């Protein structure tokens, strides 16, 4: 009976619970002994309502701003803006524009003001910065800038002092009643027995109250400090910034107006700013405005808002407003007061505490009534019902104290809080193992996982990649050392080497820079870094190639197309498109190939079979394969045109080694013995995926390996038969991974954990019961949608039973 009552009234989801469900259990727990303590770690729904209202206001503001901007463009040349007056303190600090003006330009999408101040370059000049070199690192200059424009932090509630917790502990209704009892006891006792004998009982009650209050307050204060430490860990986000001409990683909280920030797909925009340069930038503004349609950002629409996410493309951004000067700062200040959803176990235990509390109160009232009835009966027998003495009053007070004691003992007011604190303790232990739990509910759900859908790259593998095999001009060669690369360079025709270097250094999302120590550093994803390292080993010059060719258009890599393409203007004139990506996809777009003499020849059946065999051979050796190709654009090209998808000439194929993490096989075996099914879902070649899965112990003889396109074509009936047997899914799209997770959860009733690191993993991470994002190489989008961020995956247990989170935790940490 109790179970059905709890399920009906105290049932919430482990994530994304409806507001109705959260409100329902609160109404049933309205009367409690100490609401301040009981509901300390539950969500503040009124603050969430304020945040939702703020989002709606933002959406309307931006909609109006866009309409005004469009109208302004039609007569902007005919309107003269009144002269902007720089505030005196801003001018004295060496700047020519104030924070309010910058905020009104970006937040209001004010094209007129933007043009009036000279566009991006004009505003950069007024901020005393450079769009190429960034800010000067001089401490005095940075401090002056910080005083004028503020810091990139939103206002947080001040740390609660110890005495506030003491005051909250005093709010307990039963302690208040006992306090009244103590006062009455002191008054009656001193009046009848004098001081100090009559004060013993009353002072004893006071001492008990003080002991309970200070023990409770001390415990709560220590736990609040622990939660504050965990909250700081959650907010650690780094971003690529150019300062003093050097590109470096920096905390978003150190950003100042004038900084040049580098954004790529999956990043969260860390402050309000203006687009400087970039390609194909799509911004998701739903977190700020609730608008689901992505916005294209370019030199025509250069406004970037803090808190939004880069859905596609890459760019450089000039920071204009930070912290509480941005709408995101104001929104986050409200959201931070809203708190996290309470966990299912917390809610159920609140229900249990409420039921037990009612039972305890009933028995307390009955006990008090019985004791009073006994005293009255005794007085009736003695004929002294009309005569009441001080001793009788003290006896009645004792009866009342007994009843209150029953309520104190029977009502488990601290039970929900104790569970919260035990979950926080589990979070702390996991944080010591480099696993940051973002949502308390994950600690509950993790131990009951029955299926894990794991990404391959960076999760099962080390994510430290190197090019070890190549096939250029139809000749395969192992290149595991720089000596091999030099040998390859001498074997290939010179035109082919130049073409290869041009392809590697122009068609990349990475960059080769000189760091502050004067050493060469490669920035970008591990795959990009491996290819750039290979290009440098061939004697290539990254900066030289980039300066020789002008980038006309870039289509960054994404998990749907599984390729990256660029169009470059050649030094001698003419246009050329370069493409790289999944080997079979790029090869299918080719109709020509470079032969052993470096000449362009038709891609006949023999050459096609040779390249396919090479790709399969590399993949069967657990190598990640990428194909490089190019096409001459003899008919010209406009930036409005899409980059060609066919007619390419195949330059060659590279095989990239990404070793399996030590201990993965043992972890997978441990999960299997605990009844947890591990599946690999990757965007890689199916042969590569199968080789890695066998090495990890994921793919067994009775398991199925399937490709995403084939999975997509299956009917609902076929999926029901197929999904339980799937152990490997290769060439999967984000939608494939999401579909698999959704079916496992809804159709098969599995508790699903998903691991991933990229933007392509975001839908599945959001859908899963437990989302685990890889903090090492993960994007901010995946980190924000997950329940747990892993900083060092696959730390194996040293003393088996000392781990708290069963095999699921062992696998993913």
374 and 437 inside one domain = no
Whether the ω angle into residue 196 lies within 30 degrees of 0, i.e. cis, is yes
Q: In this structure, what CATH number is given to the domain that contains residue 448?
A: 3.40.50.1000
**Do 648 and 678 belong to one domain?**
no
Q: Is residue 224 part of a domain?
A: no
Strands 600-602, 623-632: pairing kind: unpaired
What is the percent of the chain where pLDDT is above 70? 73
Report, as an integer, the average pLDDT of 568-581: 91
Give the residue among 158, 157, 171, 155 at the shortest CA–CA distance from 44: 157
Which among 138, 266, 254 is positioned nearest to 774, based on CA atoms? 266
Parallel, antiparallel, or unpaired for β 704-707 and 272-284? unpaired
Residues in the chain: 813
* Mean pLDDT lowest among 117-131, 187-201, 546-560: 187-201
482 and 506 both lie in a single domain: yes
Placement of tokens 């009309």 in the chain: 386
pLDDT at 800: 34
Q: Which residues pair with 346 in a beta bridge?
A: none
Over the stretch 688-733, which tens digit does the pLDDT of each residue have?
Answer: 999 999 999 999 988 999 998 899 898 888 999 999 999 999 988 8
Domain identity same for 22 and 82: no
CATH of the domain at 120: 2.70.150.10
Does 76 have pLDDT greater than 60?
Answer: no
- Running DSSP on this structure, what letter comes out for residue 135? B
What pLDDT, in 10s, does the model give residues 577-611?
999 999 999 999 999 999 988 899 999 999 999 99
What's the rounded Cα separation, in Å, for the pair 528 and 39?
A: 49
pLDDT surpasses 90 at 653: yes
In a domain, 190, yes or no: yes
The answer, yes or no, to whether residue 536 has pLDDT greater than 80, is: yes
Are 629 and 733 within one domain?
no
Q: Tell me which residue of 30, 112, 25 sits closest to 65, measured CA to CA.
A: 112
As a dihedral over the C-alpha atoms of residue 190, residue 196, residue 198, residue 200, rounded to 10 degrees, the angle is 130
| Other Cβ atoms closer than 10 A to 602 | 9
* Domain enclosing residue 370, as ranges: 1-30+342-421
Q: Per-residue pLDDT for 784 more than 60?
A: no
The answer to whether residue 455 is catalytic is yes
Question: What whole-number distance in Å separates Cα of residue 93 and Cα of residue 213?
Answer: 52
Answer with the residue of higher pLDDT: 504 or 798.
Answer: 504
Stretch 393-410: mean pLDDT, rounded?
75
Give yes or no: residues 56 and 143 share one domain.
yes
Q: What is the structure's pLDDT at 298?
A: 87
Q: Point out the domain boundary residue: 329, 360, 384.
A: 329
**Residue 249 reports pLDDT greater than 80:** yes
Q: Are 551 and 543 in contact (CB under 8 A)?
A: no
- What is the domain-level CATH number for residue 518? 3.40.1110.10
244 domain residue, yes or no: yes
At 78, the pLDDT band (50, 70, 90 cuts) reads: very low
What is the residue-wise DSSP string for 518-540?
S-EEEES-HHHHHHHHHHHHTT-
Q: What is the pLDDT of residue 227?
A: 64
Kindly state the average pLDDT of the residues 158-165.
80
Q: Which SS3 state, helix, strand or coil, does residue 489 take?
A: helix
pLDDT band at 11 (very low <50, low <70, confident <90, very high): low
Encode 632-652 in three state secondary structure.
ECCCCCCCCCCCCCCCEEEEE
What is the 3-class SS of 448-506, one letter each residue?
A: CCCEEEECCCCCCECCCCEEEEEEECCEEEECCCHHHHHHHHHHCCHHHHHHHHHHHHH
- pLDDT on residue 217: 80
Q: What is the mean pLDDT of residues 314-337?
A: 75
156 versus 609: the higher-pLDDT residue is 609
| 541 and 571, same domain (yes or no) | yes
Which residue is associated with the tokens 């409770």? Answer: 216
Q: Residue 219 is encoded by which pair of tokens?
A: 């415990």
* Last-in-domain residue among 300, 329, 358: 329
Question: Same domain, yes or no, for 619 and 687?
Answer: no
CB-based contact 262:241 (threshold 8 Å):
yes
Give residues with Cβ within 8 angstroms of 746, minimum separation 6.
Answer: none
38-52 mean pLDDT: 60
Identify the band that residue 196 occupies on the pLDDT scale cut at 50, 70 and 90: confident
Q: What is the mean predicted confidence (pLDDT) over 760-782?
A: 64
Within a domain: 225: no
- pLDDT at position 808: 34
Least confident of 155-169, 335-349, 433-447, 777-791: 777-791
Instruction: Check residue 793 and give its pLDDT.
Output: 44
Is 705 in contact with 727 (CB distance < 8 Å)?
yes
Specify whether 590 is located in the same domain as 690.
no
Q: Average of pLDDT values for 110-138?
A: 90
Supply the DSSP symbol for 768: S
- Supply the Cα-derived Rg of the chain in whole angstroms: 33
Give 97's strand partners: none
- Which residue, 414, 378, 355, 366, is CA-closest to 37? 414
Q: What is the pLDDT of residues 627-649, one digit of tens each?
A: 999 999 988 888 888 899 999 99
Decide if 427 is inside a domain: no
Looking at the structure, tell me whether residues 446 and 415 fall in a common domain. Answer: no
Considering only residues 574 and 48, tell me which one the structure prediction assigns the higher pLDDT.
Answer: 574
CA-closest candidate to residue 254, choices 323, 326, 315, 304: 323
Residues 482 and 624 in one domain: yes
Alpha-carbon gap, residue 432 to 453, rounded angstroms: 24
Q: With 60 as the cut, is the pLDDT of residue 395 above it?
A: yes
Q: In angstroms, rounded to a whole number, what is the distance separating the alpha carbons of residues 454 and 152?
A: 35
Does 230 reside within a domain? Answer: no
Mapped to the 3 state alphabet, what secondary structure does 344-363 carry? HHHHHHHHHHHHHHHHHHHH
The C-alpha angle with vertex 227 and arms to 223 and 231, in degrees rounded to 5, equals 170
Which range (212-221, 530-539, 612-621, 775-784) has the least confidence? 775-784
Backbone angles phi, psi at 674, to 5 degrees: -90, 5
Q: What is the mean pLDDT of residues 23-37?
A: 60
- Distance between CA atoms of residues 525 and 510, nearest Å: 7
Give me the pLDDT at residue 786, please. Answer: 52
Which among 758, 755, 810, 756 is positioned nearest to 780, based on CA atoms? Answer: 758
Q: How far is Cα 564 from Cα 587, in angstroms, rounded to an integer?
A: 14
Q: What is the CB neighbour count within 10 angstroms for residue 422?
A: 12
Helix/strand/coil (H/E/C) assignment for every residue in 736-762: HHHHHHHHHHHCCCCCEEEEECCHHHH
With bands split at pLDDT 50, 70 and 90, how would you rate the model's confidence at 776?
Answer: very low
Query: What per-residue confidence (pLDDT) applies to 325?
Result: 82
Residue 488: pLDDT above 80? yes
Residue 229 inside a domain? The answer is no
Among 341, 455, 658, 684, the active-site one is 455
Residue 74 — very low, low, confident or very high, per pLDDT cuts 50/70/90? very low
Query: How many domains, the chain?
Result: 4
Same domain, 183 and 247: yes
Q: Single out the residue in 278, 297, 329 at which a domain terminates.
A: 329
Does residue 794 have a pLDDT over 50?
no
């Amino acid at each position: 009976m109790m179970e059905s009552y709890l399920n009906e009234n105290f049932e919430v989801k482990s994530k994304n619970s409806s507001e109705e469900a959260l409100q329902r259990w609160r109404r049933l727990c309205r009367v409690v002994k100490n609401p301040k303590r009981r509901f300390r770690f539950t969500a503040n729904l009124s603050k969430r309502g304020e945040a939702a209202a703020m989002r709606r206001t933002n959406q309307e503001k931006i909609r109006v701003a866009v309409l005004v901007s469009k109208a302004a463009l039609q007569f902007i040349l005919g309107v003269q803006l009144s002269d902007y007056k720089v505030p005196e303190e801003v001018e004295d600090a060496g700047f020519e524009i104030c924070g309010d003006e910058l905020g009104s330009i970006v937040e209001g999408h004010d094209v007129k003001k933007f043009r009036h101040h000279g566009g991006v370059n004009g505003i950069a000049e007024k901020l005393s910065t450079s769009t190429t070199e960034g800010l000067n690192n001089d401490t005095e200059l940075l401090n002056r800038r910080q005083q004028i424009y503020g810091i990139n932090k939103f206002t947080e509630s001040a740390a609660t002092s110890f005495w506030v917790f003491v005051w909250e502990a005093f709010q307990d209704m039963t302690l208040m009643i006992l306090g009244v009892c103590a006062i009455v006891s002191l008054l009656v006792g001193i009046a009848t027995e004098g001081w100090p004998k009559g004060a013993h009982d009353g002072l004893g009650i006071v001492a008990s109250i003080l002991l309970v209050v200070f023990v409770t307050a001390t415990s709560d204060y220590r736990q609040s400090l622990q939660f504050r430490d965990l909250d700081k860990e959650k907010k650690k986000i780094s971003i690529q910034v150019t300062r003093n001409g050097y590109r470096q990683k920096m905390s978003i909280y150190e950003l100042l107006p004038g900084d040049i920030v580098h954004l790529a797909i999956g990043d969260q925009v860390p402050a309000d700013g203006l687009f400087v340069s970039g390609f194909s930038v799509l911004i998701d503004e739903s977190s700020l405005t609730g608008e689901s349609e992505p916005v294209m950002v370019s030199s025509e629409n250069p406004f970037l808002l803090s808190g939004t996410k880069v859905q596609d493309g890459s760019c450089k951004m000039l920071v204009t407003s930070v912290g509480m000067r941005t709408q995101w700062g104001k929104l986050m200040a409200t959201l931070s007061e809203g708190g996290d959803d309470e966990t299912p176990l917390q809610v159920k235990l609140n229900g249990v505490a409420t039921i037990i509390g009612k039972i305890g109160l009933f028995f307390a009232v009955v006990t008090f009534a019985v004791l009073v009835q006994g005293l009255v009966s005794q007085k009736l027998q003695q004929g002294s019902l009309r005569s009441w003495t001080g001793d009788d009053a003290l006896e009645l007070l004792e009866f009342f104290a007994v009843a209150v004691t029953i309520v104190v003992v029977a009502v488990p007011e601290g039970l929900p809080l104790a569970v919260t604190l035990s979950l926080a303790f589990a979070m702390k232990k996991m944080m010591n193992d480099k696993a940051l739990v973002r949502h308390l509910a994950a600690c509950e759900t993790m131990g009951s996982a029955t299926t894990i859908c794991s990404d391959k790259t960076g999760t099962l593998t080390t994510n430290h990649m190197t090019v070890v095999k190549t096939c250029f001009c139809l000749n395969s060669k192992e290149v595991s050392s720089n000596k091999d690369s030099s040998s390859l360079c001498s074997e290939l025709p010179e035109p082919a080497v130049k073409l290869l270097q041009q392809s590697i250094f122009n068609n990349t999302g990475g960059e080769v820079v000189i760091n502050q120590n004067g050493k060469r550093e490669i920035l970008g994803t591990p795959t990009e870094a491996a290819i750039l390292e290979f290009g440098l080993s061939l004697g290539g010059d990254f900066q030289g190639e980039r300066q020789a060719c002008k980038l006309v258009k870039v289509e960054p890599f994404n998990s749907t197309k599984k390729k990256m393409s660029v169009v470059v203007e050649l030094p001698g004139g003419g246009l050329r498109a370069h493409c790289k990506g999944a080997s079979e996809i790029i090869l299918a777009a080719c109709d020509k190939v470079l032969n052993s003499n470096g000449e362009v020849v038709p891609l006949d059946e023999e050459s096609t079979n040779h390249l396919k065999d090479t790709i399969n051979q590399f993949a069967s050796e657990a190598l990640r394969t990428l194909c490089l190709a190019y096409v001459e654009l003899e008919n010209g090209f406009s930036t409005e045109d899409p980059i060609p998808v066919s007619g390419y000439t195949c330059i060659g194929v590279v095989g990239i080694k990404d070793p399996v993490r030590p201990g993965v096989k043992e972890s997978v075996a441990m999960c299997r013995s605990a009844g947890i099914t591990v599946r690999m879902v990757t965007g890689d070649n199916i042969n590569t995926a199968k080789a890695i899965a066998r090495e990890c112990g994921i793919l067994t003889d009775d398991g199925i390996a399937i490709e995403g396109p084939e999975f997509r074509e299956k009917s609902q009936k076929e999926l029901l038969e197929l999904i339980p047997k799937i152990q490997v899914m290769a060439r999967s799209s984000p939608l494939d991974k999401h579909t698999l997770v959704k079916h496992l959860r809804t159709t098969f009733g599995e508790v699903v954990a998903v691991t991933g690191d990229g933007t392509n993993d975001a839908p599945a991470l959001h859908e899963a019961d437990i989302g685990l994002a890889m903090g090492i190489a993960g994007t901010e989008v995946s980190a924000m949608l997950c329940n747990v961020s892993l900083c060092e995956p696959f730390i194996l247990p040293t003393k088996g039973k000392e781990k708290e989170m069963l095999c699921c935790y062992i696998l993913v940490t």
